[in-house]
A and B are shown apart, each in its own frame.
Chain A
Amino acid sequence: MEPLETLVGQPVDTPRASLAAASLKAASVRFGTYTAIDRLDLRIEAGAFYTILGPSGCGKSTLLRLVSDLIPAAGGDVSIFGKTTEQARLAREFAFVFQDAALLPWRSALKNVELPLEIGRKRGAVIPTGPRSPRELLELVGLKGRENALPHELSGGMRQRVAIARALLCQPKLLLMDEPFGALDEMTRDRLNLQLLDIWRETGTTILFVTHSISEAVFLGQKVIMLRANPGRLREIVDIDLPEPREMKMRDTPEFNRYCSHLRELLETC
């Protein structure tokens, strides 16, 4: 029998509670002789909204692809909620939203959202069922009534919302987004930013969001991860202390603009 003292003496925080959503330790990615990411240390806290900024070629997209097990680490260690990236992929712990919605054009919006349920068992994926049905998810992203529309009948913003609903289907604890609104016009982008924040609060998921836009990074992120290029390394993590929930009018405040100009300076000296 264990002596009682050692049990009592353990920290109150269980390891499970302090588990990082994603943790990178000296992780590197190489394409041939080119080093895209060089010994990156990063800890992504569960439940937070991170935006990733950096000059082009700094490995923003590569970082998401490393975390999502699309490309292997050349060195170091990457874990997601304490699991390897492969285990996390098979357990559907994370989902990915691409810049191009990557919908299957012959499937209706609803059938596209249902796709993750049909794929992966043969390779050993365990498919969790989230609390929301595909129909409810389409409603959550504001596409109620468009379930049977084919992708070409939807606007760019609507297609991206279908992609988000699809990503949310297996209730991922980590949502990786690679410039999901990059190809949209500014008004659509603003609307989707607000909607994404609502979804984030409602689902409690962790979000890693790559963007080119400084103001989008500040508006969405609790923390902005600034990377530098050649090779890709961490420049700085900037905490954004703006009141929650975020509102459009905050973008006219001096604090917001201070964050933006600070990040712009960082970008210029990357």
Chain B
Amino acid sequence: MAAIDTLPIADPQAAARSAARRERLVSAIVPIGTAAALIGLWQLGVRTFGVPTYIAPAPSDVAVTFVEKFPLLMQNFWPTFFESVAGFLVGNLAAILIAVAFVHSRNVERAFFPIAVFVNTIPILAIAPILVLIFGPGMTAKVVIAALICFFPTLVNMVRGLQSVSPQTLELARILSASKSEVFWKMRLPSSLPFLFSALKISATTSVIGAIVGEWVGADLGLGALIIDATFNFNSPLLYATVLMSSGLSVLMFALVTLAERRIVRW
């Protein structure tokens, strides 16, 4: 067995390390490769069957438009970004405060939870025009819509999180003669953080959807307005590039929340 004889004497640790490296490489290559293959298939399909650009642009057309119209895309990116972030902050802050009130008093929960559920059942597309009528065509309406879409998942998760303290931990608090505020700051609030971040990850992406839906109803600027504009002008490459930009914004928001979670929730 000459082949085995010529093998270098294996350092088991180095072997394990290189196996781990290979594993990481494979786990990165597989999804990227799949996506690249699908895009290639799309390019090939559009070109082979001569699909008109206004029906479905080839990825290369989208890429060219993305580069050429980048200043326009950025000009429309910022309003949507600010609306999403403001809506994210307002909606989640409101949800957190109301969750605290719910946990503090059963009666507050009894009074307001059904209303929260009702508001959540109204489709966002139906409530958006109402809010644009109330708040006018400026940014406020979009922020409110984005806030509204963030609100419910965070409320439900935050209530659960604040209640997730184990009975024995609460008994410990009682034996240490803890006050209600000490239980809240030292036990309930930290316990709720993993639940809160699950909700924040959801609302990081939905807040962008809220802002864009708000812009559909009435706006001159913003990715939502650009989507409407491009659609009505049959400018499919620009439409696709805008959609790409929107999903980029969602990914950015999601990444920021995930980063914050990694730094804060380390248990």
Contacts and interface: CB of A to CB of B under 8 A. Distances in A.
A96 B177 contact: no
Contacts of B168: 98-100, 102
Interface in B57-84: none
A151 B176 contact: no
Contacts of A104: 169, 186-187, 190
A152 B175 contact: no
Nearest to A86: B177
Interface in B213-267: 265-267
Interface stretch (A114-122, A186-194, A222-230): A114-122
A120 B177 contact: yes
A85 B193 CA distance: 35
A124 B177 contact: yes
A118 B177 CA distance: 11
Interface residues of B, number: 21
A117 to B, nearest CB: 10
A115 B181 contact: no
Contacts of B175: 68-70, 89, 94-96
Given A89-B177, A150-B267, A102 B172 contact: yes
Interface string A66-80: 001110000000000
Contact of A125 (B176, B181, B187, B267): B176
A120 B177 CA distance: 5
A130 interface: no
Contacts of A102: 166, 168-169, 171-172
Interface string B163-187: 0001011011111111101100011
A102 B168 CA distance: 6
A31 interface: no
Given A98-B172, A151-B267, A119 B177 contact: yes
B182 A122 contact: yes
B176 A116 contact: yes
A105 interface: yes
Contacts of A118: 182, 186
Contact of A123 (B169, B179, B186, B193): B179
Contact of B190 (A98, A100, A106, A123): A106
The B interface, classified by DSSP as helix, strand, loop or mixed, is helix
A55 to B, nearest CB: 23
A123 to B, nearest CB: 4
A140 interface: no
Interface string B14-46: 000000000000000000000000000000000
A240 interface: no
A99 B172 CA distance: 12
Interface in B140-197: 166, 168-169, 171-179, 181-182, 186-187, 190, 193
Nearest to A170: B176
Contacts of A152: 267
A26 interface: no
A105 B178 contact: no
A102 B265 CA distance: 18
A68 B267 CA distance: 30
A94 B176 CA distance: 10
A35 to B, nearest CB: 22
B178 A119 contact: yes
A246 B190 CA distance: 42
B176 A115 contact: yes
A186 to B, nearest CB: 23
Given A106-B267, A119-B173, A119-B186, A100 B166 contact: yes
B169 A120 contact: no
A104 B193 CA distance: 13
A94 B171 CA distance: 13
A168 to B, nearest CB: 14
Contacts of B193: 106
Nearest to B173: A119
A95 B177 CA distance: 12
A239 to B, nearest CB: 30
Closest 5 A/B residue pairs (Cβ): A120-B177, A125-B177, A102-B168, A122-B179, A105-B267
23 contacts: A69-B174, A69-B175, A89-B177, A99-B168, A100-B168, A102-B166, A102-B169, A102-B171, A102-B172, A104-B169, A104-B187, A105-B267, A106-B193, A106-B265, A119-B173, A119-B176, A119-B186, A122-B179, A122-B182, A123-B178, A124-B177, A150-B266, A152-B267
Given A90-B177, A99-B168, 10 more contacts: A68-B175, A95-B175, A96-B171, A98-B168, A98-B172, A102-B168, A102-B172, A106-B193, A118-B186, A123-B179
